[in-house]
Structure 1
Amino acid sequence: MIKPLDIKELFRTLLGDDFYEYELPPPCFTIMRCEIVSFNKEKATLTTKIPVLKEWLNPYSTMQGGMIIAAMDNALGPLSLLVAPKNMTRSIESKLIKAITMNVKYIYVTASLYEVKKRRLIFDVVVKDKEDNLYSTARVTNFIL
């Protein structure tokens, strides 16, 4: 079993006094019951573990696409805060590959900083299960404020 990282301690350590400028963990992170299970500052990657709950399902009993995007944003957001100056999402181009059912139980969302171009941050995000089955990918562009 992977022990989650303490999000407040992680951010307090890396952000120093800037920690107090933010509401951490953000409400959306808490509502989706996210846990940070790994963070690598040198590789600029962060992985969250998120339960697949009945509340996230569509009429087909699969995880609703918007909730999958929200899950992606709950890995991407913390990573962008930890590895870059203040920034905001500009675009998300996602590909939903395979339906996520409640049988999956948990998804693992890994966000990675792919490239920095002037004031743009380019991220890659993948959604997998514990067996490493791929469910979704995204390329995200953030704009440095």
Structure 2
Amino acid sequence: MLGEKKWIRKITASMFSVLFMIVSYSMVGMAIYHFVTALQTDEQLVTGIIRSINDLFIALATYELSVGIFKEYRGQGDEDIGLIWSIRRTVTRFVSVVIIALVLEGLILVIKYSQLDMAGNLFYPVAVVISASLLLISLALFLHWTRQEPAKDNS
């Protein structure tokens, strides 16, 4: 019975990993499309380039999620370092990419609203940057609480 559950877990993990990988590759394709379109039109060059950068960050985040799912649930991770340390590393990489994407989005919104003289809407990018800051603080707390204490030698 236990072997069956392990087999189902591996199949399900592989399926989700492949789905997230497909989303990641699709986002890379969209980034290329937005970049090429921006180069051809000239009127929205900065917006198109920024949009392609956003797409690449989303692609990177979904790629990290795909790799993390595959390693953690398929049993392909580093068994010698333990589950907690593997999860700690995966969460750190994924959340770091999300934080970078949020900060970039906040900066893009600040530039966009400044160019369009919509200073009244600046609380949206400020909220995005504050959210990224809270996420960064949460990541720091997570890393602090899951750090390995040095072994004490009682000899």
TM over 0.5: no
Task: Please state which structure has a larger fraction of its residues in strand.
Answer: 1
Q: TM-score, normalised by structure 2?
A: 0.32
| Higher percent of residues as helix | 2
